[in-house]
Amino acid sequence: MKNLMKLLIIAGLILAVAFSGCLGSDDDVVDEPDNNTTAEATHFYKNVTVEDNDTVVKFELTSNPSTGYGWTATANKTGILNETVNNVATPDMVGAPGVHTFSYKAQAAGTVELNFKYERSFENNTTLEDLTYVIQVYQNNTVEILSVTSPTGNLLPLSKNVTLENNSTAVKMMFTENPTTGYTWNISMTPSDVLNISKDHFDTPATDLVGAAGVHTWQFESLKAGNVSLVFNHNRSFEDNSTTEIVVFGLKTNTDKTIEIRSISLDTVTNVQ
């Protein structure tokens, strides 16, 4: 009987030690999530450039077919531009966005509107982006970007209108802006001595609605011949990492004071905290 009691006590001690060892094992402790981790910003690009001795206009647009969304392109006239590239490059990572490239070569003189919509073709009212570019093709088959219009949308919430004015001697930008939110458009030019800001004006909204957005208008004119990068950054100047949109224009000014839009990059930035 005494031997049986001893065996039971020993067995109980062994089980207790084993059980406490399981509870105290570092391998089984689940680490708590780091609440201070900040995800990298995501970007949604819409880029257009004039290439190949000014005979080609190329569009590179962020696209994610895995979501069902894709870009469709339509022209209001035929025979002026010839579509030579229409291709989606998908990344290796499943579900990650890729780039949809459209390329058009000058075919005949004229003016044409190219409209790009980012939507689900199998559903109604799913348009997230709506961009319209006006392209001029000259007799020598060179192309020029005359304007771009981007109305308010889900991925590009601030409307933007850019046009060449006064026989292409000035370029005018009209961007939605709402200073009541603390967000404004901040401009930088590199180099700073090629363009002159001839107009910088904010029009308050034509409504009594508190907090409604207005329109900020800038007009730039040439000071001398050269190339300039004009950057618009929509952010809170008093707050780090607050950028929501970046628009970059590559402009060329000529000796006759005319201005050419060589490239436009529209970038929607999402900072995920």
Q: Over the stretch 76-115, which tens digit does the pLDDT of each residue have?
A: 999 999 999 999 998 778 778 899 999 999 999 999 999 9
pLDDT at 69: 92
Beta-carbon count within 10 A of 225 CB: 13
Q: Over the stretch 193-234, which tens digit does the pLDDT of each residue have?
A: 999 999 999 998 877 787 888 999 999 999 999 999 999 999
pLDDT at 156: 52
Q: Which residues pair with 37 in a beta bridge?
A: none
CA-based nearest residue to 131, from 184, 63, 52: 63
Place of tokens 């819409």: 46
Beta-carbon count within 10 A of 220 CB: 25
Q: What is the pTM of this model?
A: 0.78
One-letter identity of residue 104 = Y
Q: Over the stretch 104-163, which tens digit does the pLDDT of each residue have?
A: 999 999 999 999 999 998 999 888 889 999 999 999 999 999 999 987 555 555 788 999
Question: Is the pLDDT at 271 greater than 50, yes or no?
Answer: yes
DSSP string, 1-37: -HHHHHHHHHHHHHHHHHHHHHHT-GGGPPPPP-TT-
Beta-carbon count within 10 A of 10 CB: 10
Burial status of residue 242 (CB atoms within 10 A of its CB: 0-12, 13-18, 19 or more): middle
One-letter identity of residue 20 = S
Backbone torsion region of residue 167, taken as left when φ is above 0, otherwise alpha when ψ lies between -120 and 50, otherwise beta: left
For residue 107, give the 3-state DSSP assignment: coil
Tell me: cis bond preceding 179? Omega within 30 of 0 counts: no
CA-based nearest residue to 131, from 107, 160, 102: 160
